[in-house]
Every structure is written in C-alpha cells, then in structure tokens.
C-alpha cells in the first residue's frame, strides 16, 4: 500500500485470521479460574458460590414477588427442611443439603425438562463439579446413598411449596410432579407457607451465614 504522493511502501501488520482457542474456564469474582471440563477443588470459593446462586432465579424467574426466588434461598429452605426431618444429622450432612445445587453457580439452574432434553452428558458434568465442591469443603465426593436420597426428598418438599406458593401450580399438579410432602413441624410449615423471595444481596448474606454456622457446628463435633 502507498500513501498518496509517496512511492515508499508502508508495511502493514499481519492480521491473525486463525480461530482463537476455545475457552473452557470461567473467571470468578474471587479471581479464580474454574476449569469447566476438569474442575478442581482448589478453584472453588464459597463466596463465588453464594454470589452466583443468589443471582440465579428458580423456576426460570416465573415466580411471584418483587424479586426472583433465588437458588441460594432455595438451598436455605432445603437445609431447614433437612434439619427438621433429620435432627440427629451431623452438620456435614446439613452442609451437603445446603450445597446440593451449588454447581448451578457455574452451569445455571436449568429446569428439569431441559435437563432431560440435554441428556446424560450434562448430568456427568454436574456430578464432576459437585464432587469438586464437596472435596473443597470436606465432604465425600459422592454422598452415601441414604444421605443423597434424603436430601433429594427434602428438595422435593421445598419444590412443592415453592411451586404452590410462588410458581402458580395447583396442589394436585404439584403433587403429581413432586409428591405430597409429609407433615412438617409448625414452625417449618409456617416458614414454607409464607415464602417470600429475598433481594439478591440478602439471600447471599444469609447463605454465607448459614454456611459459616454449619462449618462451625462441624468443627465442634
């Protein structure tokens, strides 16, 4: 290329037209870079989990209230149900209940029909990430089957009340999908009956406070 009135050629820099390498990690606010294909426990931080879950809407955001009902708040409800149903559980299993949806701080809260459509690869990825989260906080990479089954049962109880109180489901419809929950203590029944979505920053603070309390309870066992 020549400039007008100048016979001296100008060297133009080479343009890189190659395809950039695919990025398979996510940068977190803590500064950690979490490898999505091979997640490591050392790259998991509870502050990142709390921040992400508090800003992630359950039910694809289709809930009543001024704020989204977040995955962080759902996790708190599941932990409360687990504590009411299993008062003899050590703190570590309550912690597992609190963290049962923790992988969603990276992969999002996909509704169950979409998870089914994606298939088994999604579930395998979710399990790898959950294993890294468990290892980071002193839990078994894979929970004992009875513990896992009870956390799932608590999750379904929470889903029933969220569905009927916040997401527009009728009782019969929610029962068909999630089962009818067993009898709850009066205090817990009052809490789930009056579910009120929290602002993200409040849900984040409560999630972190519950995590810290469970860690302290575990250290006292």
* φ, ψ dihedrals at 9, nearest 5°: -70, 150
CA distance 133 to 219: 18
Question: pLDDT, tens digit, for every residue of 144-163?
Answer: 999 999 999 999 999 999 99
pLDDT-based confidence at residue 221 (cuts at 50, 70, 90): very low
Question: pLDDT, tens digit, for every residue of 190-219?
Answer: 778 789 999 999 999 999 999 999 999 987
Strand pairing class (33-35; 25-27): antiparallel
Domain ranges (residues) in the chain = 43-219
Q: Evaluate if residue 118 carries a pLDDT over 50.
A: yes
Q: Which fold has domain 43-219?
A: Hypothetical protein af1432 (1.10.3210)
At 104 the three-state DSSP class reads helix
């Amino acid at each position: 290329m020549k400039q007008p009135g100048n016979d001296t050629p100008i060297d133009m820099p080479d343009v890189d037209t190659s395809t950039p390498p695919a990025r398979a990690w996510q940068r977190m606010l803590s500064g950690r870079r979490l490898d999505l294909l091979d997640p490591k426990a050392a790259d998991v931080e509870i502050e990142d989990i709390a921040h992400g879950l508090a800003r992630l809407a359950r039910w694809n955001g289709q809930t009543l209230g001024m704020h989204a009902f977040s995955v962080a708040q759902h996790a708190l409800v599941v932990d409360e149900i687990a504590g009411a149903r299993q008062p003899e559980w050590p703190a570590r299993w309550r912690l597992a209940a609190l963290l049962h949806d923790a992988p969603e701080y990276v992969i999002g809260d996909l509704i169950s029909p979409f998870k089914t459509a994606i298939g088994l690869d999604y579930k395998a990825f979710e399990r790898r990430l959950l294993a890294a989260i468990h290892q980071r906080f002193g839990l078994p990479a894979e929970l004992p089957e009875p513990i896992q089954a009870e956390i799932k049962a608590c999750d379904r109880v929470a889903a029933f009340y969220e569905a009927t109180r916040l997401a527009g489901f009728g009782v019969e419809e929610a029962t068909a999908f999630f089962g009818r929950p067993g009898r709850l203590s009066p205090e817990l029944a009052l809490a789930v009956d009056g579910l009120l979505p929290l602002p993200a920053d409040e849900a984040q603070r409560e999630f972190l406070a519950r995590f810290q309390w469970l860690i302290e309870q575990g250290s006292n066992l």
